[in-house]
Structure 1
Amino acid sequence: MHGTRDLRRVASAAFVGTALEWYDYFLFGAAAALVFDRVFFPDLDPSTGLIASFLTFAVGFVVRPLGGILFGHIGDRFGRRRALTATLLIMGLSTGAIGLLPGYQQIGFAAPLLLAFLRCLQGMSAAGEWSGATLMAVEHAPAGRRGWYGAMPQYGAPAGTLLSSGAMALATLLPDEQFLSWGWRVPFLVSFALLVVAFQVRRRVEESPLFQRESREKVPVLAVLRGHWREVLVALSATIANTGGLYLLTTFLVGYGTSALGLSRQVMLAATLIPAALEFAVMAFSARLTDRFGPARICVSGSLLSAVTAFPVFLLVDTRSPALVVLGAVIGISMLTVTYAALGTLLASIFPPPLRYTGVAMGVNLAGVVGGLLPYFATQLLVVSGNASWPAAALLLAISVWSLLGSLAAQRRTRAETEARQPEPAA
């Protein structure tokens, strides 16, 4: 890539593909909080059904380390472009298939089993998508602009949230009987159309120039485990607040607001939509700060802000005032976004290029296992504490501090000098 037009093409492909991935992924989370317990676990009481629904949601995270190894191998051995094509197709097709899946009343226990299987495919796909899209953007970017271009895939997260929450919010306007029978399926079926658009955009992107220059390991995962396992742990730690915190403030919060606080589905979906819309501005600001001050400093600052606001966020939600509930979600998600914009650039800097896809994917997806289980644990603690929100706030505080320490460790391990010595693609 040598021109501004080509860089824009890379940025567009990174954004569009990641937006589809997160649309699909977040859509499952919203459905898990609102409808899956009644469609796929109707014989359970409401609290147990919600827990079972979140367990199905968490299954997608359990398989993510395997997906990270698989697509990391493809990305480091055969190219970032091939890996990203595969992740896009698997995610779009599996999500669309959920919209066609019969419920428990039609096929019995096979329904939740098939739902869990499709969720596993989603998890495998997501394991390779974010890492690859971020590396494509960073490795095409000119010096001094890696923070800006490295944030492009991250814009896909709020875009996916807006699309999925908006689609589900429209579906909830239907009468309850129609929503449960067919309305919730429509947003999943839309994934087929979005897949066609995203595939056409992504197929025009050329391979990463850095990948084409570097030598390649035969088995990248073994090389990472032998020589860079510490960096994997650092990547896990730096990422944990974003993966876990985001699902606490979206998936768990929607379920908590509707089941424990008695708020309407529309209010809780608004608490997802409005923060997602504001994420674009926060992310753009954070990306510019990343190029100015470095990704490590921005990640440290964002993790600290998330820790400080953890309890105030849930105190605002507990007021049951729609405006304050939305304000709490805005504050919490905005603090996570400060870190998220800089995270891809930071993680890319701590692994050597021939092992970068595998190393980043392993660290991020191990963090995803922990983060994906947090809505389940928070819901369990909700039952034990008598619907009190302080355990969820304590979880958010703990993972924010964990990410703070991980970002500090990444700052010490950055390979900025090595990157500076490598030839840069011209802007």
Structure 2
Amino acid sequence: MNTTPARAAGSGGTALDENYAKNLQRATLASSIGSALEYFDFALYGLATALIFNVLFFPQGDPAMATVAAFATFGVGFVARPFGGLFFGMLGDRLGRKIVLVITIVLMGGASTLIGVLPTYEMAGIWAPILLVLLRLLQGFGAGAEQAGATVLMAEYAPTARRGFFSALPFIGIQAGTLLAAVVFSLLTMLPEEALMTWGWRVPFLASFLLIILAVLIRSKLEETPTFVEMEKREQVSEHPLRELFRNGFPGVLVGIGLRMAENGGSYMFQGLALSFFVTVVGPEADKGLLTWGVTIGSLIGVFSVPFAGALSDRFGRRAVYRAGALFMLVYSLPAWWMLTLGNHALAIAVIAIGIGFAVATMLGPQCAMLPELFGSRHRYLGVAMAREISAVLAGGLAGVLGAYLIAITDANWLVLGLYMTVLAAITVVSTFLVPETLRRDLTRTDDAVKISSVEAGDDVWLNGSQGTGASAVSARTSFTVDRTPVSADER
């Protein structure tokens, strides 16, 4: 029996159809609000890191090193994310998707709100950056499972034939949150310098509390996903998802990390690092407020381009669309960073907007369905969380710290930053050739789409213990294999 959400919705008559439609709508809204809050906080933190935190929370003997230290606190949040993904990912696979999404939104949003009441370095000395780091750790710990949960929730709710489109809809929240942060920060920079540095920067962090209340109210009314309900009926819920992930899902995690390098790293480089780079190159003449409109416009474009890319992946496949975005970033990286050195504000805004709205968004669209499709249902939440959050450390977190350090030691050499982004894009391009096509995969399946297999005398021998033992397994040739299970007619 194959019970995908789409089929479940249509198998019980009009009443079940209406109930499914309401839950699909509620799931989309619940996921979108969480995504908006997460990326509002992270984009706001990134913008504040480059322009405010480096001044208020660190000693100013060496401004360049103060910026590096500020970006280090930005990166600390990414270090905490895999641990949050590990902890909450296991809970999500054991207890269900819904309860974990309520917990993570409260933890993540609460930490962000408390940042708004922190004392500065002038007020509290060394305790100021210490408290900032602690709250950043809590923020990252909650965020480590938030986006993975939203991704899994929507993929398991979405109709099979349009999973790419529906799974991408909550990720409008990513663009909306980034857009809101950019708009708010642009408005804040219009304040007098003294007002901005004393109380103005605190306002948007404190306002996170409103989004928390809204998200909790919506998520508390959400029903569990059809996939997890079906797992409970079949008594397939895993008691040890971490053990299963290491035994069966590790190849999927590795491929998922590679897929995220360009998307995640490129996103944070364009959102935060590009601003710091431009200000360093141009100097006092740089208009900080004007430049944030690049992030604003790019996020506004992403509101449309992310679901459009998701819809394209329903038609042409996840890999083709993902690879197109990665190739675009590959050829765009060097020209983009060179154009930032020209000191033209309008050109810099366009560079950032194109990077976020097209290069990053084209990968993000198909990724929303692709990552959940890589993993079996028993460890899907944990698998997606690990792929997302380990890549967030390697790409997003490292991009800020390493990028700021490279700017400082190379005197803002554009070629070094351009090559760095090129490497991230190249890793993702290669990864698209390692991942199987997961279009319309049945999400009630317990096996993974990417497997480590052995081939001897033309036979597949799984190295996870289900088939193949003894000498035949030892002497076999190890390789990645692609799930080529045909799609049934009613899933198309």
Amino acid at match of 1:283: V
Shift of the 409–165 alpha-carbon distance from structure 1 to 2, 3 Å rule, reads same
Q: Which residue of 1 aligns with 2:372?
A: 348
State the 1:407 CA deviation: 2.2
Q: Which residue of 2 aligns with 1:241?
A: 262
Q: 1:184 aligns with which of 201, 209, 233?
A: 201
Q: 1:171 aligns with which of 188, 198, 201?
A: 188
Amino acid at match of 2:109: G
Q: Which residue of 2 aligns with 1:19?
A: 36
Distance in 2, matches of 1:417 and 1:175, equals 55
1:29 aligned to 2:54? no
State the 1:192 CA deviation: 0.9
Amino acid at match of 1:155: I
Distance in 1, matches of 2:90 and 2:398, equals 26
What CA RMSD, in Å, does the superposition of the two structures yield over aligned residues?
Answer: 1.9
Q: 1:208 aligns with which of 217, 221, 225?
A: 225
Q: Which residue of 2 aligns with 1:404?
A: 429
User: Which residues of structure 1 form unaligned runs of 5+?
Assistant: none
Distance in 2, matches of 1:90 and 1:337, equals 27
Shift of the 247–102 alpha-carbon distance from structure 1 to 2, 3 Å rule, reads same
Q: Which residue of 2 aligns with 1:324?
A: 347
Q: Which residue of 2 aligns with 1:222?
A: 243
Distance in 1, matches of 2:490 and 2:139, equals 34
User: Which residues of structure 2 form unaligned runs of 5+?
Assistant: 1-8, 10-16, 447-487
State the 1:350 CA deviation: 1.1
State the 1:417 CA deviation: 5.0
Query: CA deviation digits over 1:119-174, x for unaligned, max 9?
Result: 01111111101111011111011121100111023211111111111111111111
Q: 1:292 aligns with which of 315, 333, 337?
A: 315
Q: State whether residues 100 and 185 of structure 1, in contact with CA within 8 Å, keep that contact through their aligned partners in structure 2.
A: yes
Q: 2:411 aligns with which of 361, 382, 386?
A: 386
The number of equivalent residue pairs is 425
Query: What is the TM-score when the length of structure 1 is the normalising length?
Result: 0.95
Q: Percent identity?
A: 32
State the 1:27 CA deviation: 1.1
Q: Which residue of 2 aligns with 1:78?
A: 95
Of Structure 1 and Structure 2, the greater helix share is in 1
Query: What is the TM-score when the length of structure 2 is the normalising length?
Result: 0.83
Q: State whether residues 317 and 326 of structure 1, in contact with CA within 8 Å, keep that contact through their aligned partners in structure 2.
A: no
Query: The residue matched to 2:152 in structure 1 has which SS?
Result: helix
Q: Relative CO higher for 1 or 2, CA cutoff 8 Å, sep ≥ 6?
A: 1
Q: State whether residues 373 and 443 of structure 2, in contact with CA within 8 Å, keep that contact through their aligned partners in structure 1.
A: yes
Amino acid at match of 1:314: W
Shift of the 39–245 alpha-carbon distance from structure 1 to 2, 3 Å rule, reads same
Query: CA deviation digits over 1:307-328, x for unaligned, max 9?
Result: 1111121122222112111111
Which is greater in Rg? 2
Amino acid at match of 2:29: S
Query: CA deviation digits over 1:36-83, x for unaligned, max 9?
Result: 011110333210110000000000011111111011011100010011
Distance in 1, matches of 2:489 and 2:143, equals 29
Q: 2:297 aligns with which of 274, 299, 303?
A: 274
Q: State whether residues 258 and 268 of structure 1, in contact with CA within 8 Å, keep that contact through their aligned partners in structure 2.
A: no
State the 1:244 CA deviation: 0.8
State the 1:297 CA deviation: 1.5
Distance in 1, matches of 2:287 and 2:74, equals 22
Distance in 1, matches of 2:94 and 2:413, equals 49
